Structure 1
Amino acid sequence: MGFFSPGNKSSSNSNSSSNHYIGIWYNQIPLQTVVWVANRETPVSNRFSSQLRISDGNLVLFNERNIPVWSIISNSTSAGVEAVLLDDGNLVLSASTRSDSIRLWESFDHPVNNWLPGGRLGFNKITKQNSAITSWKSANDPSPGPFSVSLDVNGTDQYLIFYNSTDFWRSGPWDPVGRIFSLVPEPNANIYNYSFVDNDVESYATYTMNSSVLVSRFVMDVGGQIQQLSWILGSSQEWTQYWTQPRVQCEVYGYCGSFGSCTQRSQPFCRCLQGFVPKSEADYGSNVFYGGCTRRAGLECSSNGNISSSGDGFLPYYDMKLPSNPRIQVSGAGNAGGCRGFCLNRCSCTAYSYDDRNNQCLVWFGELLNLEQDVSSGSTIFVRVAASELPGSDSHNALVIGGVVGSAVVLALAAVIGVVIWRKRRMRKLGEKSVEGSLRAFSYRDLQSATRNFSDKLGEGGFGSVYKGVLSDSMVAVKKLEGIRQGEKQFRSEVSTIGTIQHVNLVRLVGFCSEGAHKLLVYDHMPNRSLDSHLFNHQGSGVLSWKTRYNIAMGIARGLTYLHEKCRDCIIHCDVKPENILLDAYMCPKVADFGLAKLVGRDFSRVLTTMRGTRGYLAPEWISGTPVTSKVDVYSYGMMLFEFVSGRRNLGRSNVDGEMRFFPYEAMTVINEGGDVVELLDRRLGRDADPNEILRVCKVACWCIQDDESHRPMMSQVVQVLEGFLNVGMPTIPKTVSLLLDDEEQVEFFTKSTQKQQLEERGGNLSSEYHSAGH
């Protein structure tokens, strides 16, 4: 804690700004990160002659002229008042008595733009004080910005993000069973503990951390997004984003300000409309856009008050999300011309839009907010500008003179070129339109550039190949889909559905490309590759500990539960296997390739049975041809659980006697005979595991691979078992398991799909960043 100057990398360098503040930052993180500011609205100019001290029982900051500029009024008469900064970042003002110490004030009750573990963010029903985290005005100005997040005071048990007084995002109400806010990505329960308290005195949310090496914080960003950021002590070089809402920058209300247009596919996101300039060039240069734009030239109508002589006109903007500020629907406009005339004849009318499909005329008065370009259901809006901003007559005359002087051949050639250019632009626009939701639409050329012409291949699977790509703001994995025969409209519809699915244990779809035969999906990049590259790598030095395996198993179960039971329509993955489980920087598991079965359509069964590594996880329904349900995923998950215990593929030859071994059968036999389950454990772990957890995993895996799908649990029940809230007994050994080793056809079916992988695992052939197409 001490004086700092915004924009500096360390507290000792204060030469670039004349404004100094008292702040709190981390002492174990090399990148100075200020999480609380005392005098955010009253900086001092000289930190050497300013002083923070206890004065008359209050904590007061005096400037260089010894004038108080900020204080905490404690109303304490005690002489033993002291201020202490605790290890969790909480600044506490307390008063000592003969028998106790009384807390008079604490910074956790007065957050600035960060919400730290242990802090309470909520509403005091007695004092009516609602604590909020409010963005800085800019990256170099900690004074309050327009964005804030706070608890809904109407008792809905949810948090709202505000732009000034307008709320534009909601967390959804608190779910006491799931211990989560319904519209917030599910947290990793192994790392974060969230709770919500609601009593007669107060309502608030708080959270704690289970990891001593992971530092986490929520921040209300200058751009209007609430972000949860993490830092691993001793290894991180920068803050890593765990999640953010709104997910897409252009969904932030008022982000580009008045008369600004947001385009998700461009950098920077905001641009002033034609005929407008930034109100503050300095803010725009610092990527602070909410100040908005102003007209470059005044309107003639408003300057002389004479509507009939107005030389104002309108500039069209196509494929736009219409402004969110209040609008008026004009009845009786008749047509587009009537709508235009209605707006033109009213000096305060700034824009109009006419939909000829339903003869709807909409007009806006005053400033325009939240214009967004490149949206799938975009409309055309006409924005009022001064006559000087309209296309001039000089260029038009030049064109006419050129036509008179030139030959008909030249005109014809120009027309042909114009048509070609128009068609190319039209096709490009069709390819770039975003689908419903917040997905980014990429052109094929964009992804060629991002992947360096698809040169860095991460892996290959039944759905296509995956390539590493680098965008301006992130690293991605680009999957080139093969065998997609859907039409443009249906493809976009399915991709839109996948894009709306968000969960901490599911790989996030960032965007897509659909240009003719080119169908590509763009995902978040997972730096720790796929699960199989860790679980079955017997040549490498990094062995997954039992605790890490158990946490990964629970994360996968939660992800599948979300797909099966919490989406609007049940989504069956159909190809659950270690190759389709990816691991992020914190070894948090992410289920990949969900939703692709529907994209491939009726060819999926052929793709599935020929896919490398898939056969060993297939439920009997796939082979018998009976209709599949979500229980096929449960079966595949159960098969995978056994591999978490053994660290090897389920079926393979013993290194001792060369006999074919099927691990699920061995595990069931040991448990039924009351044997030592730790003997089943991967030898590389040296018996370092909780026997109760091993038994729990094996038992629930046995239930998951039952022949009769009705005997298999739901994935939500699997989660309860792994969390220890639900106990299960030992089921009978399924016939398919007990007969497998006696059936040469089944053995051949399984081994053909795993031989190649086992050879790779023995040879340590894991040089690819992704061992397989985990996306």
Structure 2
Amino acid sequence: MVPNWSFFVMITSILVSIQLVEAQPFDYPTANLSTTWINSVSANHSVDFSDGSKVRAILLRGTFGPRYACGFFCNGICDDYLFAIFIVQTNSVSYISMPTLGFPQVVWSANRNIPVKINATLQLTSEGDLVLRDSDGASVWSTNTAGRSVAGVNLTEEGNLVLFSANNSVVWQSFDYPTDSLVPGQTLVSGRKLTASVSITNSTEGGLYSLLVNNEGFFAFIESSPPQSYYQQLIGGTKVNKKASYVKFQNGSLALYIHSSEPSNPDSLITTLPQASSAQYMKLESDGHLRLYEWASGWKEVSDVLTGYLGDCNYPMVCGENGICSNGQCSCPRSSNASISYFTQINGRQPNLGCSEINPLTCNASRYHTFQELEDMTYFAFNADIANTDINHCKQACLSNCSCKAAIVRYGSNSSDGDCHLPSQIFSLMNNEKDKTHYNSSVFLKVQITSNASSSPVKTSPKGTTPLVIVGSAIAAFVLFVTIIGLTIFIYRKKKTTGEVEEDYLDNVPGMPTRFSFEDLKTATENFGKKLGEGGFGSVFEGSLKDGTKIAVKCLDGIGQVKKSFLAEVETIGNIHHVSLVRLVGFCAEKSHRHLVYEYMTNGSLEKWIYRGSQEFVLDWKCRRKIILDIAKGLAYLHEDCRQKIIHLDIKPQNILLDEKFNAKLSDFGLSKLIDRDQSQVVTTMRGTPGYLAPEWLSAVITEKVDVYSFGVVMLEILCGRKIFDRSEPEERMHLLSLFKKKSEEGKLLDMVDQYSDDMQSNGKEVVWMMRVAAWCLQNDYARRPSMSVVIKVLEGVLDVETHVDYSFFDRPQIFMSGIPQVGSEEATPLVPSVLSGPR
């Protein structure tokens, strides 16, 4: 009998397959260099779950129970995938259990904002870089570790994805770049933050929330402009070491190490976490809640970590924008007059979505702004913008500030001595429970009334009025009108001939600051006796107002150019407010006098502190990093959050001022340009300062990306501690961008780190990383430069730096270094050295 060879081969194949499966370890947590994984439906360890999620596991740590794995993940309609670390239920047969035993829970992702498609690849290159590429080959994410002696990748028992060297030291780890979750044993370090994803099911759910720690304590914010804190645990005392502050997810608590560090005891504990009986993870979610989940035959919420401290109503978007939370119920603000309504629910069936304005606020009709008063109401965030004031002054300050959306007053027993908060964005309000808060509180929401609401009703003529009387009245009115016009023309011409044209219309521009007389400023500055510095448009003097407030008075010299600068500055920043913009206190436009009155900035302008040989002491790395972030936030506000897009056009260290805590603020808006939101670019004459001018100025067609370029130059100066163009250097080092290009090609960017600061040198790797951000901002093609909001996300660790950055910077910098008289623009900044380095 002839044997059935096909049957024999089949049985043999099955036996071999079984032996291979049994021989393969249950977990596969490591991989070596030159390994590539493809996001394919036929990939090994691929599981589809009944909730629509899918995983393509690349690395798996452990078996029997909930374990960590990493690979490609999708949730729901699987057109898009994340490279993520997730917790899955495992067993000894299929490694990842059947779907009925629990769905995967993502605790970290590399490309949250840039998902990839089927057939995307993840590669651990031979150079040691872990690179994620989409199906079309485009680079999406990278660890940027090429050339750093990486030997392999490992997924640890704690769920930390680690690139390690030959001696098993950590080169890169996912724990350093958290997204929205923490796992037991993980720390959240100062300089990093958890950022919640936007809700998929409810896109109106109030933007992004963030959780962070710094040297003052532990905070939760909603990402407004500026961010508003809804939870804070402040830690008093003094830091006893130079280590970064952090919070650690321990079994049963969150441990805050603000001034101390392990093995010392934590400075404080958040103890609303139950002891773990199985796998746990903590997630900051799209509603601002920090929730703890635990495995118990499926994932269950076991703690709402912050709610025990906050209550239900203290979350920013619990009732949406302008909504009122009371005992967990949502409603809209109601007027005391039942016939008048200023707000209406966005969705009557979902009151938690908030309330919209019936008549949206507009700065063009600020004379029709009024307030809806809400007594015994409070707000989750309160920062005193004005201290020791009364309700009327608080309300008037809000009416004078176009960006102000409400006047919020808190006081004790005396309503004339309270604190005033003027938020530029209002989220959910709540009842003030005075027995718990121990203060009185009132909220005055700014509302828009229609123009005809304030006009008198039309009346008919009284009975018996004759046509003759009507005609006579009309003639008298006409004569009066002609007389008024004649007097106006006469007065205008007289003022013009004597050179005393007043900018009276500024008094009618919404949100204008205080107008001072020339005599007021002479008194305040003691006859302009203490000069702080001088620049291209005039001098700056120190002064004090009658209430003791210190000010800096900028006196403008010249004629046409100064007039344009003065008007541009007053109109631009007179009615905007941001923590990273220097505040314009007031102005003077009297006869030939043109003065701008600013808040006094104790530490003067930035160039005083960063150029070697001129600073009183050397700024450390942390301070420089904070200054860079402050500048970025100020520019992002101008570009993206104002009613009109504002391009500064003269970003340089001399126009960046520092307060007593070295917080940086943008100043000098004399050259700024306003662009309507529907404009993508504008044609204008060249203006600005040589060395900081973007290449596209040669075409005179510019966008807000010219500010991004200037920011990149300033950023590089801060990191290198030198000027963009320094004639004291040898010729090959004279121009900073040329040197930057050369050192990048040689792989020696560490050579450019400020040599006069030991702290900068010891943080050299981070400084070089930030140089890459600067290089991204300096791309010749403005379309390849990031927006300032993207820069902020990169600096805060939310996004990664673009990997394909061109270091071939503008190859004709000498055009902008030798002056620009050929342009003939009276609007350009005079090419003279600025010495505005004193405090102001």
What's the TM-score once normalised by structure 1's chain length?
Answer: 0.44
* TM-score scaled by length of structure 2: 0.41
